[in-house]
Amino acid sequence: MLRTGLTAIALTLFAGAAGAQIYTWKDANGRVHYSDSPPASANAQPVRGGGSTSTPAPASQSKPAAAASGPAAGPKSWAEKDLEYRQRKADQAASDEAKRKVDAQKAEKTAYCNDLQRNIGMLDQGGRVTQAGPSGEREFMSDEAIRAEADRLRAQHARDCR
C-alpha cells in the first residue's frame, strides 16, 4: 500500500517535467548545469528529448521586443484573443437582433396585408355588413358604404402591400 502511494507521488512529480524543455550549459568554472529555464548570460543548449527544440529568448529581452514591435508582430495574447472573441460574439448578436427585427417587421406586414385582403373579400362577397355605431351599437352598412369601404381598403392594400 505504501509502495503504491509512493509510486503515485513520484509519477505525479515527474509528469510535469516530462513535457518541459531542459537546457544545459557550462558556467565560468566549467561545471555543467541543467535547468528548465536557461540563464540570460550563458549559451544554453536544449537537451535532446525535451519538449521543444527551440531556445527561447531570455525573459528580460523578450518582453521589450514584443512591446516595441506592436501587437501585429507576434502571436496574440490570450487577452487579445478573448477580446476579439467577445467582439465577434457582440457583432454576431447585433446582427442576429437586426435580422430578428427585419423578420418581425416582415411578419407584421404580411399579417396586415392578409387582414386587408380578407376584409376586401368579405365586403365583395355581398350580404349584410355591420359596423359599430357612435354609441357602440351595431349598424347595418348601406350598399354605397360597403363599396366605398371596399374601395378604401383596396387603395390601402395597393399603397401598403407592394
Most confident of 21-35, 36-50, 60-74, 92-106: 92-106
Banded pLDDT at 65 (limits 50, 70, 90): very low
Better-scored residue on pLDDT, 30 or 151: 151
Number of H-type helices and E-type strands within the chain = 4, 5
Better-scored residue on pLDDT, 69 or 42: 42
Better-scored residue on pLDDT, 34 or 150: 150
pLDDT higher than threshold 70 for residue 55: no
Kindly state the cell numbers that stand for 67: 512591446
Helix (H) or strand (E) holding 132: strand 130-132
Query: Considering only CA atoms, which of 147, 151, 159, 77 is closest in space to residue 113?
Result: 159
Asked if residue 31 lies in contact with residue 25, where contact means CB atoms within 8 angstroms, the answer is no
Asked if residue 59 lies in contact with residue 88, where contact means CB atoms within 8 angstroms, the answer is no
Asked if residue 33 lies in contact with residue 47, where contact means CB atoms within 8 angstroms, the answer is no
pLDDT digits over 114-142, tens only?
Answer: 999 999 999 998 888 888 888 999 998 99
Q: Using alpha carbons only, what angle is made at residue 101 by residues 95 and 102, rounded to the nearest 5 degrees?
A: 90
pLDDT higher than threshold 90 for residue 152: yes
Q: What is the dihedral of CA 154, 155, 161, 162, to 10 degrees?
A: 110
The strand pairing partners of 14, in sequence order, are: none
